[in-house]
Chains A and B, each alone.
Chain A
């Protein structure tokens, strides 16, 4: 059972990592334009991305 002592923190840490990533994405406006994001992946030029 002693493995629980580090398995639980590891599981929680991974979960928090996911939550943090989501909140960061939300804060940096990545959920503003979901349709646009799906299309932007088709930009196939190597030109610098639009500012």
Chain B
């Protein structure tokens, strides 16, 4: 039984199949990349995994347990954390309070939650922002705070939705090293990313989708060489040349 497995998941919005019979499985400890052009259904897949949207068809399994049909907070409790593409900071709370609120999930007392939060804030390099209100943070730190908040729920599988988008080159390096650090600490990651430099260097396997349909799956090299992937991103001309 795979660590995480999606079997033929389908999501209809009205008559449109935003995700159409997508299947993939992730091994424990992997960094699994999810790529595709804009509107191809990457974030929808995340929303299906963590239960924001009900599946139209298909099943999702996590560590041998069927999680499709559960509520979002139950899925989180089982060990799947996520961040949002459009960040959702709890604006009028400080950074540390954001993380504490999340850390309460597995903490018995407030002191325990606070200790865990402090530890995670240090892990994510947010110490200078600790007592600032979340709304005052720049975008790079907001994204880090989202990761910190997700980590505070002690996830075994973390879904990162475009954590590197909108960052400058030095922030990008920091984001990559944070992702690597999380992976080394034993968390399995599924990441959605547009920046090829990020996804190609850190992923173990990649799933490419377009219009909600899988067009390629494999190692980064295999996917990068795939004709359908090149067509989806760059058009027929480039695909024909290569």
Q: Do A and B bind each other?
A: no
Chain B interfacial positions (CB closer than 8 Å to A): none
Interface residues of A (CB under 8 A from B): none
